[in-house]
Amino acid sequence: MDEPNESFEDYILRMVEQGYIATDGQPLKCSFCDSSEMENRNEYYEESCIIEFQVFCKSCDKQVGLWAYGNWEL
Ligand SMILES: [Zn+2]
Protein backbone atom coordinates (compact mmCIF):
# COMPACT_ATOMS: atom_id res chain seq x y z
CA MET A 1 0.00 0.00 0.00
CA ASP A 2 1.27 3.45 -0.85
CA GLU A 3 1.50 5.99 1.92
CA PRO A 4 -0.94 8.80 1.09
CA ASN A 5 1.55 11.51 2.02
CA GLU A 6 4.60 9.93 0.45
CA SER A 7 6.55 12.47 -1.56
CA PHE A 8 7.99 11.73 -4.96
CA GLU A 9 11.49 11.69 -3.47
CA ASP A 10 10.42 9.16 -0.84
CA TYR A 11 8.85 7.04 -3.53
CA ILE A 12 12.07 7.04 -5.58
CA LEU A 13 14.11 6.26 -2.47
CA ARG A 14 11.84 3.35 -1.65
CA MET A 15 12.08 1.99 -5.20
CA VAL A 16 15.89 2.22 -5.05
CA GLU A 17 16.01 0.56 -1.63
CA GLN A 18 13.83 -2.29 -2.83
CA GLY A 19 15.97 -2.81 -5.91
CA TYR A 20 13.45 -1.76 -8.54
CA ILE A 21 15.48 1.09 -9.95
CA ALA A 22 19.07 2.26 -9.85
CA THR A 23 19.91 5.62 -8.31
CA ASP A 24 19.98 7.17 -11.78
CA GLY A 25 16.46 5.89 -12.45
CA GLN A 26 17.34 2.92 -14.62
CA PRO A 27 14.76 0.17 -14.13
CA LEU A 28 16.25 -3.02 -12.69
CA LYS A 29 13.16 -4.95 -11.75
CA CYS A 30 9.50 -4.77 -12.72
CA SER A 31 7.50 -2.97 -10.01
CA PHE A 32 4.38 -4.90 -11.07
CA CYS A 33 5.58 -8.50 -11.09
CA ASP A 34 9.19 -8.37 -9.74
CA SER A 35 10.65 -9.82 -12.92
CA SER A 36 14.09 -8.59 -13.95
CA GLU A 37 13.57 -9.57 -17.58
CA MET A 38 13.41 -6.30 -19.50
CA GLU A 39 13.50 -5.36 -23.12
CA ASN A 40 13.85 -2.07 -24.94
CA ARG A 41 11.16 -1.10 -27.38
CA ASN A 42 10.06 1.86 -29.48
CA GLU A 43 13.53 3.18 -30.06
CA TYR A 44 13.72 6.58 -31.71
CA TYR A 45 16.74 7.73 -33.61
CA GLU A 46 17.81 11.14 -34.75
CA GLU A 47 20.66 11.25 -37.25
CA SER A 48 21.51 7.64 -36.32
CA CYS A 49 21.84 8.46 -32.62
CA ILE A 50 19.36 6.93 -30.23
CA ILE A 51 17.39 9.64 -28.47
CA GLU A 52 14.61 7.73 -26.75
CA PHE A 53 13.46 4.23 -25.89
CA GLN A 54 10.96 2.58 -23.59
CA VAL A 55 11.72 -0.36 -21.32
CA PHE A 56 9.08 -3.04 -21.01
CA CYS A 57 8.79 -5.97 -18.66
CA LYS A 58 8.96 -9.19 -20.65
CA SER A 59 6.78 -11.06 -18.15
CA CYS A 60 3.77 -8.78 -17.70
CA ASP A 61 4.29 -6.51 -20.72
CA LYS A 62 4.03 -3.27 -18.75
CA GLN A 63 6.22 -0.27 -19.35
CA VAL A 64 8.71 0.09 -16.51
CA GLY A 65 10.90 2.90 -17.75
CA LEU A 66 11.59 5.55 -20.34
CA TRP A 67 14.97 6.81 -21.39
CA ALA A 68 15.15 10.06 -23.28
CA TYR A 69 18.05 12.27 -24.24
CA GLY A 70 20.46 10.62 -21.83
CA ASN A 71 18.21 10.51 -18.79
CA TRP A 72 15.82 8.06 -17.23
CA GLU A 73 12.30 9.41 -16.86
CA LEU A 74 9.92 8.08 -14.27
ZN1 LIG B 1 6.40 -7.27 -14.93
Write down the pTM of the prediction: 0.82
SS (H, E, C) 5-67: CCCHHHHHHHHHHCCCECCCCCECCCCCCCCCCEEEEEEEEECCEEEEEEEEECCCCCEEEEE
Residue 10 Cα to ligand 1 midpoint, Å, equals 22
- The whole-number pLDDT of residue 3 equals 61
Query: Domain map of the chain by residue range?
Result: 8-73
- The whole-number pLDDT of residue 2 equals 60
Closest to 51 (Cα-Cα) out of 43, 60, 59:
43
The mean per-residue pLDDT over the stretch 62-69 comes to 96
Which long-range contacts link 37-46 to residues 24+ away (Cβ below 8 Å)?
A: 38/64, 38/65
Residue 28 Cα to ligand 1 midpoint, Å, equals 11
Q: What is the pLDDT of residues 18-61, one digit of tens each?
A: 999 999 999 999 999 999 999 999 999 999 999 999 999 999 99
Residue 45 Cα to ligand 1 midpoint, Å, equals 26
Closest to 63 (Cα-Cα) out of 73, 49, 50, 51:
73
Residue 60 Cα to ligand 1 midpoint, Å, equals 4
Higher per-residue pLDDT: 6 or 62 = 62
